[in-house]
Amino acid sequence: MAVYAIGDIHGCLPQLLTLLEAIRYRPGQDRLLFVGDIISRGPDPLGTIRFVREQQERAVTLMGNHELRAINGLLGFPEKGFIKHLGFLTTCPERDDILAWLRQLPFVHHEPELNLRLVHAGFFPGWSLDQAMEYATRLSAILRDDAQLRPFLARYPANLPENETDTMDETARLHFAMAVMTRLRICQPDGRVVWAIPGTSGGDAFKLEPDSPYHPWHALLDWQDDARIIYGHWAIAGLTRIGRFMGLDSGCVYGGKLTAMRVDHPDFPVTQVTCPAYVKPE
């Protein structure tokens, strides 16, 4: 058996199938860990969902911001781009099934035997490991609970806070945690979140120049824990291997590459396939 972590697919099913051929993926034997954002923007998001679900327990998919956008849209809270990129979900025959599946995607996945943790975007440097795990568990419980889900999503703030503060109530803390785990990239030197670099637009909002006063979130995380942390979401940073942190979003769908990393091998070898530029970075 081999275990692979795979970067953000964004509906690029043809490239996923080419990549799986390149790594000689054996269905029913090997395992696949998807870092989230398997849908939105690319040519075949429905086919991607169907393929991933067909792998059943051999595949784990993390909750990404685009999976959350799909949940929000299907429940009547459409964010920008929902109809354009995810509107197919409203009329597809397995709509209810897919919504139920999306709601149970984990925010953090732990592989104790491989000493790995996966998250779509990142962890707030102000959290301990235990706090992060607790937030992930509580968020999943809310998303799976019919009574709590809608009221929770309805209160999601239009402007995200940059920090956790003592005055935040439980719901505000969980909204912040949900945003961090699915959208974080950049922090101030003191750990406050920079959701977009001020004075920039488009893809530049997430581009850290060498002389930037800001830091990637993982440069500030000081957990006394040696598990490798695998994440996606940061396409403009590309494939990243810094110490125990591995960023696998290499810009598939924007004309970059789709990345698979073998995570049960001591060298963590990488295989990539190129992808057409189906869309421009937003």
Interface residues toward Mn ion, by CB under 5 A: 37, 64-65, 233
Cα gap 274→269, rounded to integer Å: 17
Q: Supply the minimum distance, in Å, between the C-beta of residue 180 and Mn ion.
A: 12
Q: Per this entry, what is the length of the chain? A: 282
Q: Which two tokens stand for residue 279?
A: 């869309």
**Measured from the CB atom, is 66 or 175 closer to Mn ion?**
66
- Number of other CB atoms surrounding residue 243 within 10 Å: 10
- The two structure tokens encoding residue 245: 């942190």
| Shortest Å, Cβ 120 to Mn ion | 6
Euclidean distance between CA atoms 104 and 81, whole angstroms: 23
Are 34 and 61 in contact by the 8 Å Cβ rule? The answer is yes
Least distance CB 35 / Mn ion (angstroms): 9
Nearer to Mn ion, 228 or 233 (CB): 233
| Of residues 37 and 44, the one with the C-beta less far from Mn ion | 37
Give the span between the Cα atoms of 133 and 129, in whole angstroms. 6
Q: Provide the minimum distance between the beta carbon of 205 and Mn ion in the complex, in angstroms, as a whole number.
A: 13
Whose CB is nearest to Mn ion?
Answer: 233
By beta-carbon proximity to Mn ion, the closer residue of 233 and 257 is: 233
